[in-house]
Structure formats: C-alpha cells, structure tokens
Chain A
C-alpha cells in the first residue's frame, strides 16, 4: 500500500468516526430546526420551528405575524368603497377574488344586486384570478421537489392571464375593480376573443404540467401517502377549497350556495379525490384550473348585454345590519362578516381567510414526518402569507 493509500484509509476511518459521533449526538439530544422567515418555500415570510429526532419531526409550530397588516382594524376607519383597495392585498395572487365577497356582503346589506352582465364579468374575472393564482402553485410545486422547468412554464403562461386582468381592470395584481352595485367599467373591445385564445393556452399549460409532473416517479414517491389528512380532521380544522376536496369532501361554495354570481348559469364539475395526501391536493388543483378555463369559456358564450352598474347613491351609506358572505376563492373559503351601523364605513369586519385555517393544521400534520417532506407538505397545502396574517 502506498502512502497516499494509507492517508485515504485514515481519512476514511476518521470520517466514519465523525459520522458516528454526529449520529450519537443527534440521537441523544435532538435538534431544533428553524425554517424561515425567509425561505423560498414559504411564499412570503412564514417561519416554522421544528424539533427533530434525527430526520423525523417531533413537534412543529408555524410562527406567523411577520406580515400582519391589521386589515380588520383598518377597515373600521375606511368607507365601504375604500375597503376593496385593502382587501385585494390579502391574497395578492388572486386579488380580484378577495373583493367579491366583501362587495356582495355590502350589497346584501343595501339590498341591491348587480346587473346580470356585471355578475357575469365578476365571475369571469374571479375565475381568471383562480387560474393565475393556481397556475403559479402548479409551477412552484415542481421547484419544491427539485424540478426547475415547471416554474418557468408557469410564470410564462400566468402572464397571459395577468395581461387579461390588466386589460379589463387596469391592474395586474390589485385591480380594485369591483364596486358596490356592479363594476367600474365594461370589458374593452377585443377582450372576449383574446380571453378565448388564452384559455386554450392555459389548457395546454395544464397538459404540460400534467406530463411533466404527474406520473413522474420522483414526484409520485415524494407526494403519494405523504401528509395525509382524513376528512373529519380536515373539517374540524376548517380546511377549505382544494385541500378539503382532496380529502374526499364534495363541497364547493360556487355550486352549493346561491349567490348573485354566474356559476349556476353554466355547466361544470367539482373535482374531488379520496386520498387526502399531497398528491391528491395537487391533482385536485390541476383539474380545477382546467375546469376554470372551461367555466370562463362557457361564461363568455352566455355573456348578457346591458349595463355593468346599477343605480347607487354617490355617497354610499350601508344600512344597519350584519351579513356573512363567503366564496370559493383560489385558496379556499374566503368570507367576510360585515357589521354595519348605518355609517359610511363598516363597524366591524371579520375577515375569514382560507390560509389561516389551512395552515392551522400544520402542527398536527407535521408530527412524525421527515424533514424533506416538510417542504412538499407545505407546498401542497398552498398558502399565501398575506392570507394567513391579514
């Protein structure tokens, strides 16, 4: 044996001894792992503190509040029309969808209803927000598992949808377009045809994502059977949206409640999955995005003519009362409990955001999982930080 060979052998023995020492240390002491607040997987600033035993999580707790903006307090010093500018920053990826339930609650208290064309356009923009929002999820999902390609596809194709939203409302991210009694403007010329073309592109995008990820061996082994949420647990934590439907609960607020929106005017399907694991949540979202493109196309086919704004006073005073309206937003059930005292502004607004409930299950869900799965489970739950902290 040469000198170099001896050195190699000694180095090998030394490294083995070091590994063994590390293992012994880990087994006896455990370790606290801090993830975030700045981590690419957190879509903002969520911090997760996890106590580990080797590779296994013993205890995990998200730490919120890095993005708390106090919207419930701020609504109390705004007028009703001004509140939409605040609330479309809650879930900033699907911002138009945040405005709708608040406006519907105000309209309910005022006992007015938007004209049919406005209801249609609201629903179309609502579904476009969902497509823009969830397409980013579908791309981001790959990144959490080490696949870079899908995220480029997602950012490329989401831009088409954002252009549509910008074309109709003037804002890519914060449209502030919904008004009590209707919409700010009608659709611009040529918008309908362009939307049809983009919906075809988005279906192609869904197919691409399906080919790239679903059925991929790595993707399947990292998501199948990981992070399983049984249906009764999902219900008592108030999970909603695709997270709930992936646990086998056939419940979609677009279908199951009567609101002055246009979802009941067209035919579409609610997708569910019975497994309740990370894979099921991703799969349901993929199908929903594709279904949304069909909803938009069918709504464009049946778009009624007429005004987009009903008659409302210029200074809006909302009569005394309480109203609860929730809608099926991209992230889940988003609702507003609005209390009015007959003033220009609301007396109290309770904002029920989807991510707050969806993330409150994390301490339960992460118990016993392995460290690499933390990130895929969080990604599959899909949250927006602004939607947790409000």
Chain B
C-alpha cells in the first residue's frame, strides 16, 4: 500500500525553485528502488517532499531489510536508532495546578507518517554517503512482547543506540549482545521516555512558563499581539 503525497504540495524550504520537482522525482525513484529491494517487507511509505522518505517495515524483517538496503542500495551510513511512544501523555504537559480537578484527556493512539498499528514504534535513519540521501525507517513494536530484531550484526554502531532505546522505552532487541543500561542505575524501575512515566518535577510543581507571552509593563501590548497574529 503506497501512500504518496499529492504532488501539488511544494515544500517552501527547498530554496532553489527548480530543485523541488527534481528532489521529488529523486525520492519517488528512490521509493520504487526501495520497494523493489524490500518486496513484502515494506508495509507503508510516505514522502516528505524535499526533505525525507519514510518507510514502515514489517517487524520480522526489520534487520534483514536494513541489511538489504545496505548491500543493494548503498545505505551504509548509520545515523541513529530510537523509538516513539505514540500514546498521548496521561499527565499532559504539567502546566496545570496539580490539586485541581483532572481534565479528561484523549487516550487515542495516532501514529505519524507511514502509519502504524502499535503503541510504540522503533525508528532509525540510514544515509547513502555517496548520494547524501537519507531514509527514515520505522517498524511496529508488538504490544504484548516489545521486541524487535537487533541491527548490531548489520551496523555495529546500532549497539549503543539499542541499549539506550532499551532502557528508555523497555523495548528489547533480539540478538543484541549486551543490553545493559547506559545511563540509569541497574536497579532503576520504569522506562523514562514512555509517555506513562511521570516527570516528577512537573508533578510536584506546575511549570510556570507554558505560555511565555506575558503582557509588557505599560500595557498596550494586546493590540500588537492581535495585529501580528496570522
């Protein structure tokens, strides 16, 4: 299932005007190469015009897809690997009074580009160092057993990134040689970057600056604020 961006949308950031369609074509060409290379392992894709190509890989084929892209399409530069917890934070942004009545918050899980079916996704980025084109890869992490195949045998540099993801999200990587904690004490409980892990300092004291626009002394600021708002 390919989900391409409507071609009418032009990214204003790709500054040379004539470069945008070329870059588009380049990423569409790249996507067809990636599709041919990965076959069924590619679940969904999305082109961020002029910026990035995002593909979602089947969980079982996570490591083999990376190896295939490295071997046949020259994606040999390992940029990073991490995860996203798509669950909305049950604590909000900690800006409200902790003693006040809790507002009802949305608990709907909505994944980002290239879709998804699970609460957590592992994502990583590879770059072809000759053409300087990168690709963002995502994969679903099964909710029941949060485990995906490890990339260490493909990219040795994934070792530390997977250790970090393991301690921060509680996702394990099958085939990783040594999933020790990088930052936290060994007996630390919880996974800090999961959305349901509270940021304790915010629980104790609300953040005073969630809206950092304060009226200037002397007043008369309101009109200007109205005027410059789009």
Residues of A within 8 A of B (CB): 64-65, 68, 70, 72-74, 76-79, 81-82, 104, 107-108, 111-113, 232-233, 235-238, 249, 251, 256-260, 311-315, 321-326, 333, 335, 337, 339, 341, 343-345, 348, 350, 352, 356-357, 360-361, 364, 389
Do B48 and A352 touch (CB < 8 A)? no
Do A352 and B80 touch (CB < 8 A)? yes
What residue in chain A is nearest B110 (Cβ atoms)? Answer: A341
Find residues 203-217 in chain B having any chain A CB closer than 8 Å to their own CB.
Answer: 207, 209-213
For the complex with contacts A311-B230, A335-B79, 8 further pairs of A-B residues with Cβ separation under 8 Å are A74-B199, A77-B202, A111-B11, A235-B77, A238-B79, A260-B15, A322-B112, A360-B161
Complex CA distance for A138 and B78, rounded to whole angstroms: 28
Do B183 and A389 touch (CB < 8 A)? yes
B71 proximal to A (CB < 8 A)? no
Q: Kindly list chain B residues whose C-beta atoms are within 8 Å of the C-beta of A232.
A: 76
Q: Kindly list chain B residues whose C-beta atoms are within 8 Å of the C-beta of A352.
A: 79-80, 125
A237 with B156, Cβ < 8 A, contacts A314-B213, A322-B113 known = yes
Residue B182 contacts which of A65, A76, A350 (CB distance < 8 angstroms)?
A65
One digit per residue, 1 when the CB lies within 8 angstroms of any chain A CB and 0 when it does not, for chain B 61-83 equals 00000000000000011111010
B156 to chain A, nearest CB (A): 5
Q: Kindly list chain A residues whose C-beta atoms are within 8 Å of the C-beta of B48.
A: 322-323
A312 with B213, Cβ < 8 A, contacts A65-B182, A257-B132, A258-B19 known = no
Complex CA distance for A260 and B184, rounded to whole angstroms: 38
B228 proximal to A (CB < 8 A)? yes
What residue in chain A is nearest B10 (Cβ atoms)? Answer: A111
A79 with B210, Cβ < 8 A, contacts A65-B183, A322-B48 known = yes
Q: Is the interface of B mostly helix, strand, loop or mixed?
A: loop
What residue in chain A is nearest B194 (Cβ atoms)? Answer: A73
Residues of B within 8 A of A (CB): 11-16, 19, 48, 50-52, 54, 76-80, 82, 84-85, 88-89, 93-95, 112-113, 123, 125, 129, 132, 134, 136, 155-157, 159-161, 168, 181-184, 192-193, 199, 202, 207, 209-213, 225, 228-230
Residue B212 contacts which of A82, A257, A260 (CB distance < 8 angstroms)?
A82
A77 with B93, Cβ < 8 A, contacts A68-B183, A238-B78, A260-B13 known = yes
Do A360 and B159 touch (CB < 8 A)? yes
B63 to chain A, nearest CB (A): 14
Do B157 and A360 touch (CB < 8 A)? yes
What residue in chain B is nearest A249 (Cβ atoms)? Answer: B129
Do A357 and B125 touch (CB < 8 A)? no
Complex CA distance for A124 and B91, rounded to whole angstroms: 41
Complex CA distance for A113 and B10, rounded to whole angstroms: 13
Complex CA distance for A118 and B230, rounded to whole angstroms: 20
Complex CA distance for A238 and B125, rounded to whole angstroms: 10
Complex CA distance for A232 and B74, rounded to whole angstroms: 12
Complex CA distance for A326 and B19, rounded to whole angstroms: 19
Residue B157 contacts which of A104, A236, A344 (CB distance < 8 angstroms)?
A236
Complex CA distance for A185 and B106, rounded to whole angstroms: 40
Q: Kindly list chain A residues whose C-beta atoms are within 8 Å of the C-beta of B123.
A: 337, 350
